[in-house]
Amino acid sequence: MKALILVGGFGTRLRPLTLSFPKPLVDFANKPMILHQIEALKDVGVTEVILAINYRPEVMISFLKDFEDKLGVKITCSQETEPLGTAGPLALARDRLIDGSGEPFFVLNSDVISEYPFAELIQFHKSHGGKATIMVTKVDEPSKYGVVVMDEGSGRVDRFVEKPKVFVGNKINAGIYLLDPSVLDRIELRPTSIEKEVFPKIAAEKQLYAMVLPGFWMDIGQPKDYITGLRLYLDSLRKKASTKLAAGSHIVGNVLIHENAVIGEGCLIGPDVAIGPGCVIESGVRLSRCTVMRGVRIKKHACVSSSIIGWHSTVGQWARIENMTILGEDVHISDEVYSNGGVVLPHKEIKSSILKPEIVM
């Protein structure tokens, strides 16, 4: 089987992290976002993953070459010369997606995190006999999204309603699809939307089905949702009784600590924290609802909450970092500095407090 991952644009919503790495290579729970997807695809027999990309393909491919060998999955790029939306990239990669087997192929949005129930998706797709299956997820406020109206019994999709003013359903497109090769015949090589142009036509022919995604789902393409996604992901590890989660008297709730990170005495870590490889957390540090990426040092008695600390950064002694502060790569926060929602670009030294949310260039 094959899969196409829509890697797309510039990752502006996740800056300053995406100033150092393309968004799919930004760490999430101690591994690049896209690796969560590729590993799950491999588990259901996908042998080739095509990345539909228009930004820095050479960085992506050189990085993922290592994983090609480890995972035994072929990873290639299909590069757009202009943004092609969510359907155009399928037309561009048509020759690579069709292998003559007639097997369906996966299409994924790159910044979606979930438990990726791909085996169940394959089974459901083959059982209904339609041309395409989309995964949907339930939301509390459907009026903010495009809602998928479907038959609850069979899963057949009736229509799509964009940001409905009256309640028509609470299921939205989760950005995970399984498509028959014949769907490619419907897509022209031009900027086009799979959600707005392709799927409604297939639905009108009663050939589009939806499967409700079990477990959690989050689009982690912006910092607030990234932090929420980390909580949901760690919670799902807990439910699986995962040995990856940290334990001990200094741990509160769900915490992921890389095996070679160093944790000092008297720390209190959690809930919902990921600490990457090569990190040094000195004594008396308090961490909650945050990600600490590879090579970070957090000095004595610092406090970090609801924030993302980028690669190889330093947080000084008694510093306090909170309220969705995002530090880019190689940012150094001086001792006793307070950051309230600061967004700091890479390679900066911060010597005075950031009292209200702002971007520090």
pTM of the prediction?
0.89
- Read off the pLDDT of each residue in 163-183 and give the average, rounded to a whole number: 86
pLDDT score of 9: 67
- Read off the pLDDT of each residue in 210-237 and give the average, rounded to a whole number: 91
Q: What does the mean pLDDT of the chain come to?
A: 90
Using alpha carbons, list the distances in angstroms from residue 129 to 160, 208, 276: 21, 9, 44
φ, ψ dihedrals at 262, nearest 5°: -110, 125
Write down the CATH number for the domain with range 2-219. Answer: 3.90.550.10
Among the listed ranges 107-111, 140-144, 242-246, which one has the minimum average pLDDT value? 140-144
Tally of CB atoms within 10 A around 197: 15
Give residue 188's identity as a one-letter amino acid code: E
- pLDDT 10s digits, 48-101: 999 888 766 777 777 778 788 888 888 888 877 777 888 888 888 888 888 777
For CATH 2.160.10.10, the residue range(s) in the chain are: 230-360
Q: Is 360:341 a contact under the CB 8 Å cutoff?
A: no
- Read off the pLDDT of each residue in 172-193 and give the average, rounded to a whole number: 89
pLDDT at 273 over 70: yes
Q: Which of 236, 233, 259 is nearest to 246 (CA)?
A: 259
> Can you say whether the dihedral through the CA atoms of 75, 80, 84, 85 is positive or negative?
positive
Give residue 197's identity as a one-letter amino acid code: E
**List of residues 6+ apart from 81 with CB closer than 8 A:** 54
**Token reading at 247:** 């334990």
Q: Which of 325, 328, 320 is nearest to 361 (CA)?
A: 328
- Read off the pLDDT of each residue in 288-312 and give the average, rounded to a whole number: 97
**List of residues 6+ apart from 111 with CB closer than 8 A:** 23, 24, 33, 219, 220, 221
Write down the CATH number for the domain with range 230-360. Answer: 2.160.10.10
pLDDT score of 11: 66
- Read off the pLDDT of each residue in 3-22 and give the average, rounded to a whole number: 82
**Token reading at 161:** 């309603």
- pLDDT 10s digits, 32-48: 988 999 999 999 999 89
For CATH 3.90.550.10, the residue range(s) in the chain are: 2-219
pLDDT score of 42: 93
Among the listed ranges 148-162, 227-241, 337-351, which one has the minimum average pLDDT value? 148-162
